[in-house]
Amino acid sequence: MISNPKDRITTAQTVIFIVSYIIAVGILTLPRVTVEDVNTPDVWISVILGGLIAMIAGIIMVKLSQQFPEKTFFQYSQDIVGKIVGRILSILIIFYFLTTSAFQIRVLGEVTGFYLLEDTPTSAIIIPMMWIGIYLISGGINSVARLLEIIFPFTVIIFLLVLFMSFELFEINNLRPVLGVGVMPALKGVKTTALSYTAFETLLFLLAFMKQPDKSVKVVLIATAIPLVFYVVTVVMVIGAFSIDGVVTRTWPTIDLIRSYEFSGLIFERFDSLLLAVWVMQIFATFIIGYFAVSLGFAQLFKKDMLPFSFGVLPIIYIIAMIPKNINHLFTLGDWIGNAALFLFGILPLLLLIITKIKEKKNDANP
Number of domains in the chain: 1
16, part of any domain: yes
358, part of any domain: no
User: Which pLDDT score is estimated for 271?
Assistant: 64
The 10s digit of each residue's pLDDT in 177-225 is 777 777 787 787 777 777 777 777 888 888 889 888 888 889 989 988 8
Residue 51 maps to which CATH number?
Answer: 1.20.1740.10
Cα(217)–Cα(210) distance, rounded to whole angstroms? Answer: 12
User: Which pLDDT score is estimated for 102?
Assistant: 92
Check pLDDT > 80 for residue 147.
yes
Task: Examine residue 177 and say whether the peptide bond preceding it is cis (omega within 30 degrees of 0).
Answer: yes
User: Which pLDDT score is estimated for 1?
Assistant: 40
The 10s digit of each residue's pLDDT in 210-263 is 888 888 889 989 988 888 888 888 888 888 888 888 888 877 787 777 777 665
Identity (one letter) of the amino acid at 299? A
- Among 55, 306, 294, 1, which residue's Cα sits nearest to residue 197? 55
147, part of any domain: yes
What is the average per-residue pLDDT within 275-302?
A: 87
Query: Residue 34 in contact with residue 192, Cβ under 8 Å?
Result: yes
302, part of any domain: yes
Phi-psi region of 303 (alpha: psi -120 to 50; beta: other; left: phi over 0): left
Averaged pLDDT score across all residues of the chain: 83
5, part of any domain: no
Cα(13)–Cα(223) distance, rounded to whole angstroms? Answer: 11
Check pLDDT > 80 for residue 25.
no
User: Contacts from 68-74 at CB under 8 Å and sequence distance 24+?
Assistant: 69/213, 70/1, 70/2, 70/208, 71/1, 71/208, 72/204, 72/205, 72/207, 72/208, 72/296, 72/297, 72/300, 73/204, 73/205, 74/205, 74/296, 74/297, 74/300, 74/301
291, part of any domain: yes
360, part of any domain: no
367, part of any domain: no
- Among 160, 157, 165, 159, which residue's Cα sits nearest to residue 241? 165
Check pLDDT > 70 for residue 315.
yes
Task: Give the domain range for residue 122.
Answer: 11-351
Query: Residue 36 in contact with residue 191, Cβ under 8 Å?
Result: no
Please tell me whether residue 3 adopts helix, strand or coil conformation.
coil
Cα torsion 18, 19, 25, 26: sign: positive
User: Which pLDDT score is estimated for 3?
Assistant: 44
- Among 233, 230, 231, 238, which residue's Cα sits nearest to residue 255? 238
Query: Residue 252 in contact with residue 111, Cβ under 8 Å?
Result: yes
